[in-house]
Structures are given as C-alpha cells and as structure tokens.
C-alpha cells in the first residue's frame, strides 16, 4: 500500500452514509475490491479506516501476542472492540455503523485525514480542536519524535 495523502471534508447523512471525496477514492482505487476495516481509534475520539491489507498486517502483529497473558488478552479485546468490515459502494459511499458514529461523536460535518497508511474519520469540530491543541506543542513534539532520527547518510 502506498502512503495516503490529504485531508478532506465531507458530510454524513443521518444513516451514517458518507461520500468519499474523489481524490481520496482515487488513492484507494487499488484496494477498493478487498474492502476495509473500520475501528475506534486507540488514542483519539475518531475512527480509523484500514485497507484490508493494512488490517491484515496489524492482525499478524497481534496474533503474535500470547493470549494466556491477561494484559495481552485485555489489549486484544479493547483493540478489536467495535471493529466492522465495511465497503465503499459503487456510488463511492461508505456506511459508518451507528455505534461507531456515536463513539466518534460524528454528527454531519466530517473530516477525513490521512494517517500514513490508514484514514482517520473525525467529526469536523473534534478534528479542528485536536489540531489546535496539538499545534501548541507541535515543535516540541516534532523535536522529541523526529529529532534523533538520522537518514542513511547520517544527517538528521
């Protein structure tokens, strides 16, 4: 899977149907047939849309966990809570199940944000609040996370 790029705004109707913006749909074209997994985010009040091949990679990691360790079993249960297999239909729509809409607090205005190999699905107001909050200390965060990474040539 290639990197998914962009942030897109769209609307969800009362049934949770949302039209995937054309530029994003074009990026996902190669994986449309295999379907997607939609789940709750671990860290944020949003949803994560995994192309099936990316989900399979996550499950391969999780399947290495020893289920006889309580902490591992608790993690697996919480990580997979509310997970749904979803498709983008021929009209380019994604149906977000009601329980996941409620988890993310999605009303009508939606932001789809690329997160490397998955797409985060946010209520637009919550997304803007999260971005504003993160902007306050983003320079410090960038330095902490990326400051010690060196390229192959030794230059950071």
* Beta pairing partners, 17: 95
H/E segment holding residue 37: strand 36-40
- Spatial contact of 65 and 72, defined as CB atoms under 8 Å apart: yes
Decide: helix, strand or coil at residue 29. helix
Q: Is the pLDDT of residue 133 over 50?
A: yes
**What confidence tens digit (pLDDT) does each residue in 44-70 have?**
999 999 999 999 999 999 999 999 999
Model pLDDT, residue 151: 61
Q: Is the pLDDT of residue 156 over 70?
A: no
Q: What is the DSSP letter of 12?
A: B
The domains of the chain, with CATH numbers, are 7-124 (3.40.1550.20)
Secondary structure in 3-state letters for 86-104: ECECCCCEEECCHHHHHHH
Decide: helix, strand or coil at residue 114. strand
Q: What average pLDDT does range 92-117 have in this prediction?
A: 96
**What confidence tens digit (pLDDT) does each residue in 12-51 have?**
999 999 999 999 999 999 999 999 999 999 999 999 999 9
Nearest CA to 45 out of 155, 145, 125 is that of 125
* Residue found under tokens 């020893």: 66
Model pLDDT, residue 76: 95
Model pLDDT, residue 106: 96
Q: What average pLDDT does range 106-112 have in this prediction?
A: 96
Q: What average pLDDT does range 102-108 have in this prediction?
A: 95
Quote the pTM value.
Answer: 0.87
**What confidence tens digit (pLDDT) does each residue in 85-104 have?**
999 998 999 999 999 999 99
């Amino acid at each position: 899977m290639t990197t998914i790029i962009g942030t897109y705004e769209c609307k969800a109707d009362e049934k949770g149907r949302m039209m995937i913006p054309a530029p994003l749909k074009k990026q996902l074209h190669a994986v449309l047939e295999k379907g997607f997994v939609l789940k709750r985010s671990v860290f944020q009040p949003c949803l994560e849309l995994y192309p099936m091949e990316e989900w399979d990679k996550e499950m391969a990691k999780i399947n290495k966990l020893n289920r006889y360790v309580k902490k591992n079993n608790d993690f697996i249960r919480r990580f997979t809570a509310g997970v749904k297999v979803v498709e983008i239909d021929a009209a380019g729509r994604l149906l977000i199940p009601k329980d996941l809409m409620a988890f993310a607090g999605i009303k009508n205005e939606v932001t789809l944000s690329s997160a490397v190999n998955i797409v985060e699905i946010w209520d637009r107001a919550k997304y803007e609040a999260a971005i504003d909050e993160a902007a306050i200390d983003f320079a410090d965060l960038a330095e902490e996370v990326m400051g010690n990474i060196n390229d192959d040539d030794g230059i950071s």
